[in-house]
Amino acid sequence: MAKRVLVSGGAGYIGSHVTVELINAGYEVVVADNMSNCDMTCFEGVKKITGRDDIPFFEIDCCDYEAVEKLFAENSIDAVIHFAAYKAVGESVAQPIKYYRNNLVSFLNILEVAKAKGGCNVLFSSSATVYGEAENLPVTEQTPRLPATSPYGNTKQMCEDILRDSVAAYDGVKGIALRYFNPIGAHPSALIGELPRGVPNNLVPFITQTAIGKRKQLSVFGNDYDTHDGTGVRDYIHVVDLAKGHVAAVKYATATLGCDVFNLGTGTGYSVLDMVKAFETANNIPVPYEIAPRRPGDIDECYADPTRAYEILGWKAEYGIEDMCRDANNWQSKNPNGFEA
Binding positions for ligand UDP, rule: CB under 6 A = 182, 201-203, 206, 218-221, 232, 234, 272, 295, 298
User: Beta 173-180 vs 182-184: how paired, if at all?
Assistant: unpaired
Cα 313 from chain centroid (whole Å): 18
Shortest separation between residue 274's beta carbon and ligand UDP, angstroms: 11
Shortest separation between residue 130's beta carbon and ligand UDP, angstroms: 12
Element holding 274 (H helix, E strand): helix 272-283
Q: Which of 13, 27, 131, 152 is catalytic?
A: 152
Kindly tell me which of 40 and 199 has the beta carbon lying closer to ligand UDP: 199
Kindly tell me which of 203 and 249 has the beta carbon lying closer to ligand UDP: 203
Element holding 89 (H helix, E strand): helix 89-94
Shortest separation between residue 311's beta carbon and ligand UDP, angstroms: 25
Q: Choose among 106, 96, 24, 93: nearest CA to 60.
A: 106
Spell out where 74-164 has E strands: 79-82, 120-127
Phi and psi, residue 80, nearest 5°: -130, 140
Kindly tell me which of 160 and 274 has the beta carbon lying closer to ligand UDP: 274
Shortest separation between residue 115's beta carbon and ligand UDP, angstroms: 32
Using alpha carbons, list the distances in angstroms from residue 102 to 85, 237, 275: 7, 27, 33
Kindly tell me which of 47 and 156 has the beta carbon lying closer to ligand UDP: 156
Other C-beta atoms lying within 10 Å of the C-beta of residue 97? 8
3-state secondary structure of 276: helix
State the residue number with the nearest CB to ligand UDP. Answer: 232
Kindly tell me which of 99 and 206 has the beta carbon lying closer to ligand UDP: 206
Give the whole-angstrom CA distance, residue 191 versus residue 185.
12
Give the whole-angstrom CA distance, residue 101 versus residue 211.
37
Shortest separation between residue 298's beta carbon and ligand UDP, angstroms: 4
Any catalytic annotation for residue 180? no
Residue type, 132: G
Active site amino acids: 152
